[in-house]
Amino acid sequence: MPIPRRGRGTLLMAAVTGAVVTATIAVTGTANAATTLGASAAQTGRYFGAAIAAGRLGDSTYTRILNTEFNSVTPENEMKWDATEPSQGRFTYTNGDRILNQGLSNGSKVRGHALLWHNQEPGWAQSMSGTALRNAAINHVTQVATHYRGKIYAWDVVNEAFADGSSGGRRDSNLQRTGNDWIEAAFRAARAADPAAKLCYNDYNTDGVNAKSTGVYNMVRDFKSRGVPIDCVGFQSHLGTGIPGDYQANLQRFAALGVDVQITELDVAQGGNQANIYATVTRACLAVSRCTGITVWGIRDSDSWRTGENPLLFDNSGNKKAAYTSVLNALNAGGTTNPTTPPVTTPPVTTPPVTTPPVTTPPPSGAGCTATVSLNTWTGGYVATVRVTAGATALNGWTVTVPLPSGDVVTGAWSSTNSATTGNVAFRNVDYNGQVAAGASTEFGFQANGAGPSATPVCQAG
């Protein structure tokens, strides 16, 4: 059959300039024609990613699939606490940076995983507790998020902090024992360090409506109502041979809280239903406009942490499996368009010159209270731990005013609320630490950018 006139013209252009052809295909190729996972997901504004390991980047089959199929990467282990801060205060980013650069050089998004997790804590942190651990954890969040500032699409700020089973409550860990507010303290520190990254809470066994996912749901709702910075929830989706019937409804109820949802660690046991389950997950994400993308937890079956379960989209030799085709077809069938909302960008804080009013010192003893501050500093910032001690009379509420020099800005506080972030900052007790017996003490803390308090804090009872 002779080539129609128009077709001949197109072919001629193709022969003359390859660049034009590429653009033409991208525009005129129907929405259903993409042939890789990443490109297919991109048709609806989403990404399709993989967890990758720095140690495998020398494997040419692995990197070929990675560079061809995926437009997002997550470090499988390289940005975890044990990898990035193997001894306290000594940060190593070599392997994390390899993942980052692999992703960025391929035009991919990079999901950061994970700033705080009770698992894979470095040994030095495992043996810590209380205020020392809290300070170390917040410092870790600040340092790592600062190192990767502006380069990470979304951070798993806190990973797997909820208990399995019917309680719907928090998992016990040394981090949890530093106080229930450790999660919000971590999110605030992460926002301060990298305002452009979306901040996610990530967990497993939250893939349907159940006690655990409802516990997370209630936390997210609480965070949104109190202005704690959270942008997204990650659903790991390590699935067996079934999938909860309310998988999509569960994603939708989180999205309705005003957060993005992401499938962050998808893998599915190989069995009769593997391809169908993969397709069901994909369709659920596509049906929820705030579901921004899907990440599979590895590339080939042989790369998976689930040895022997063959849970991924490529076989040991790198061949596409039936599950791959079912995902690709589901992506190409389309769905809601993700608006790819840009992350919240906090405008730079312009600090007006602070004129410090003279401080009237409360009576040093008897009724009232005293406050002392200890600092854990690094270049440009610090974590302050403030000890509040009651005088001869029990306290029923307290306020500690900390004088900050010009330029210091509080970025987060725990076990207290602060009404301002600069100048003379008043920290007020929260529900559980306002009552302090005569002579007894309680502690709160805050994190700030700057050099540190310029004078002794002032404590007022009541």
Q: In the complex with ligand G2I, which residue's Cβ is closer, 38 or 75?
A: 75
Question: Which residue's CB is nearer to ligand G2I, number 124 or number 305?
Answer: 305
> For residues 417 and 381, what is the distance between their CA atoms, to the nearest angstrom?
19
The span from the CA of 287 to the CA of 92, in Å, is 40
Query: Per CB under 6 A, does 76 bind ligand G2I?
Result: yes
Return the residue of 119, 129, 340, 341 that touches ligand G2I, per CB under 6 A.
Answer: 119
In the complex, the smallest distance separating the C-beta of residue 418 from ligand G2I, rounded to whole angstroms, is 33
Q: How many residues bind ligand G2I (CB under 6 A)?
A: 9
- Within 8 A by CB and 6+ apart from 100, the residues are 75, 110, 148, 151, 152
Q: How far apart are CA 317 and CA 303, in angstroms?
A: 11
Binding residue (CB under 6 A) for ligand G2I from 40, 44, 71, 77: 77
For residue 209, what are the contacts with CB-CB under 8 A and spacing of at least 6?
A: 244, 246, 249, 250, 253
Residues 247-276 close enough to bind ligand G2I by CB under 6 A: 265
Place of tokens 């008043």: 426
Query: What is the distance, to the nearest Å, from the Cα of residue 188 to the centroid of all Cα atoms in its chain?
Result: 11
> Binding pattern to ligand G2I, positions 198-217, x when CB under 6 A?
------x-------------
309 binds ligand G2I (CB under 6 A): no
Please, which of residues 4-23 interact with ligand G2I by CB under 6 A? none
**Nearer CB in complex with ligand G2I: 246/309:** 309
Contacts to ligand G2I from residues 122-161, by CB under 6 A: 159
Q: Should residue 236 be labelled a site residue for ligand G2I when binding is judged by CB under 6 A?
A: yes
Question: According to CB under 6 A, which one of 10, 61, 120, 377 is a site residue for ligand G2I?
Answer: 120
- Catalytic residues, by residue number, are 160, 265
Provide the token pair at 156: 């798993």
| Cβ burial 368-384 (10 Å sphere, 16+ → b, else e) | bbbbebeebeeeebbbb
Q: From the CB of 159, what's the least distance to ligand G2I, in Å?
A: 6
Bridge partners (DSSP) of residue 378 are: 381
The tokens describing 362, both together, are: 């409360």
CB 297 within 8 A of CB 238: yes
Minimum distance, C-beta of residue 115 to ligand G2I, in the bound complex (Å) = 12
Residue nearest to ligand G2I (CB): 305
Cβ proximity to ligand G2I: between 236 and 449 the closer is: 236
Query: Applying CB under 6 A, does 95 fall inside the site for ligand G2I?
Result: no
What's phi and psi for 268, nearest 5 deg? -135, 125
Which residues here bind ligand G2I, judged by CB under 6 A?
76-77, 119-120, 159, 204, 236, 265, 305
